[in-house]
């Protein structure tokens, strides 16, 4: 299945769909129930490295990649699937490869290795401003989907720091001075913003700790421990109501943490042994489940107390967890084998 190799997977803003950039084009799936919604082959678009979806609208942002790209990796293509003929509505080219694209209903954000460009969107996009970042090879950048809190979070200049940018306080050619939070001592691996833009979660490349900050007061609210051994984290996501957080890593484990009621999280049995220091004071996960180890995987919350994991090996996992820490598999599928269902 070489031509079906998955290059990237990503959820849309409300986790109702996920996109796949592939060696043979791109595909879009509905999360619940799992159905294929759109497929474009490599004969039309070449191999696609990244696909960003704007909610469940007809607008997508594509970036070429893989073995047989039709479009350059330094170009963002805006794909309008509602068009009968020319679905490529816009192309924007940059001096460096595009590492990530983020979309809001009013903004288009393009992430390069040392810069983030912000455009108006969707009608006749105009560049508003450019922000410099420290070296950002992962293309880390997240935005709140909320129209009330127009927050963008990206790496700061200092190692392990993040910048908080208010996108509502911007005019063309300038932006307000970003607020900086020193989140970690080592380089960042993951950033997540909750739906309301009130919380930001961060993890470093060590992959052992996840920290949550209040975006207004900039105070750290809680610290979670994924594990004792270093790991590569692939994804962090808040639940819709911000009561829970899920995290995936190359250990093949998806961890679920309670944010609102942290008493649900496990604590170390060595807590009273003070000589162990802060290590034992960290909160461990409420629940967890396993997927294929060392296979890149994204995770997000579905209906009820469910977590969806989508892996680049083509597998789809749905688990339901309870407040007492039980976690049971409710669904498993190979999404690449799911038949067409074009009713969006």
Copy the structure tokens of residue 245: 């957080």
Which among 248, 278, 242, 246 is positioned nearest to 261, based on CA atoms?
A: 242
Distance between CA 193 and CA 45 in Å, rounded?
Answer: 31
* Each residue's pLDDT tens digit, 174-192: 556 788 999 999 999 999 9
The C-alpha R_g of the chain, in whole angstroms, comes to 20
Distance between CA 267 and CA 203 in Å, rounded?
Answer: 20
pLDDT recorded at residue 171: 61
pLDDT recorded at residue 185: 94
Residue recorded with tokens 């083509």? 314
Whether pLDDT at 228 is above 50: yes
> What are the C-alpha distances in Å from 204 to residues 127, 181, 236, 281, 290?
31, 14, 12, 19, 21
- Chain center to CA of 149: 18
Query: Quick check: helix, strand or coil at residue 275?
Result: helix
* Each residue's pLDDT tens digit, 44-100: 899 999 999 999 888 999 999 999 999 999 999 998 887 776 687 889 999 999 999
DSSP for 3-69 reads: GG-EEEEEE-TTSSEEEEEETTEEEEEETTTTEEEEEEEHHHHEEEEEEEE-TTSSEEEEEEEEEEE
Contact assessment for residue 62 and residue 51, using Cβ atoms and an 8 Å cutoff: yes
Distance between CA 139 and CA 82 in Å, rounded?
Answer: 29
What residues pair up with 93 in beta bridges, in sequence order? 75
The band of 238, judged by pLDDT with boundaries at 50, 70 and 90, is very high
pLDDT recorded at residue 103: 94
Mean pLDDT, rounded, for 248-272: 83
> What topology does CATH give the domain 183-344?
Methylamine Dehydrogenase; Chain H (2.130.10)
171: DSSP letter: B
Task: Assess whether the previous peptide bond of 33 is cis (omega < 30° from 0).
Answer: yes
H/E stretch holding 122: none
Give the residue with greater pLDDT, 255 vs 88.
255
Whether pLDDT at 4 is above 80: no
Whether pLDDT at 307 is above 70: yes
Copy the structure tokens of residue 133: 């970042």
Contact assessment for residue 317 and residue 306, using Cβ atoms and an 8 Å cutoff: no
* Each residue's pLDDT tens digit, 125-163: 899 989 989 999 999 999 998 888 889 999 999 999 999
Copy the structure tokens of residue 337: 């084998």
pLDDT recorded at residue 175: 56
The band of 220, judged by pLDDT with boundaries at 50, 70 and 90, is very high
Query: Quick check: helix, strand or coil at residue 321?
Result: strand
pLDDT recorded at residue 3: 54
Whether pLDDT at 272 is above 70: no
Distance between CA 40 and CA 45 in Å, rounded?
Answer: 7
Distance between CA 335 and CA 317 in Å, rounded?
Answer: 10
Distance between CA 219 and CA 260 in Å, rounded?
Answer: 16
Mean pLDDT, rounded, for 300-325: 94
Give the residue with greater pLDDT, 201 vs 295.
201
Distance between CA 254 and CA 299 in Å, rounded?
Answer: 8
Task: Share the mean pLDDT of the chain.
Answer: 88
Distance between CA 225 and CA 111 in Å, rounded?
Answer: 29
Copy the structure tokens of residue 194: 């909750």
pLDDT recorded at residue 344: 41
Contact assessment for residue 125 and residue 118, using Cβ atoms and an 8 Å cutoff: no
pLDDT recorded at residue 293: 79
Distance between CA 204 and CA 232 in Å, rounded?
Answer: 9
Going from N- to C-terminal start, the domains of the chain cover 1-98, 183-344
């Amino acid at each position: 299945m070489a031509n079906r190799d998955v290059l990237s997977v990503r959820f849309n803003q409300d986790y109702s769909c996920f996109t796949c950039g592939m060696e043979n084009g791109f595909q879009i799936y509905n999360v619940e129930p799992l159905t294929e919604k759109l497929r474009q082959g490599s004969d039309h678009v070449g191999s696609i490295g990244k696909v960003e979806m704007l909610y469940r609208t007809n607008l997508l942002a594509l970036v070429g990649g893989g073995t047989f790209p039709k479009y350059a990796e330094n170009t963002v293509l805006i794909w309008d699937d509602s068009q009968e003929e020319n679905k490529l509505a816009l192309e924007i080219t940059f001096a460096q490869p595009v590492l990530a694209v983020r979309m809001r209903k009013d903004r288009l954000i393009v992430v390069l290795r040392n810069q983030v460009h912000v455009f108006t969107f969707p009608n006749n996009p105009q560049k508003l401003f450019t922000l410099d970042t420290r070296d950002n090879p992962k293309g880390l950048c997240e935005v709140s989907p909320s129209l009330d809190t127009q927050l963008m979070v990206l790496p700061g200049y200092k190692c392990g720091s993040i910048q908080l940018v208010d996108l509502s306080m911007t005019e063309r050619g300038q932006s307000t001075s970003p607020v900086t939070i020193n989140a970690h001592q080592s380089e960042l691996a993951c950033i997540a913003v909750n739906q309301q833009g009130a919380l930001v979660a961060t993890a470093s490349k060590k992959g052992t700790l996840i920290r949550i900050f209040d975006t207004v007061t900039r105070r750290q609210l809680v610290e979670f421990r994924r594990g004792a051994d270093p790991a590569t984290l692939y994804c962090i996501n808040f639940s819709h109501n911000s009561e829970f957080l899920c995290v995936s890593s190359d250990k093949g484990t998806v961890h679920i943490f309670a944010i609102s009621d942290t008493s649900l999280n496990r604590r170390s049995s060595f807590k009273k042994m003070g000589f162990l220091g802060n290590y034992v004071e960290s909160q461990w996960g409420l629940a967890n489940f396993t997927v294929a180890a060392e296979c890149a995987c994204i995770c997000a919350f579905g209906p009820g107390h469910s977590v969806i994991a989508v892996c680049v090996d083509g597998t789809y996992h749905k688990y339901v967890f309870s407040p007492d820490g039980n976690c049971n598999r409710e669904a498993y599928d190979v999404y690449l084998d799911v038949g067409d269902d074009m009713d969006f």
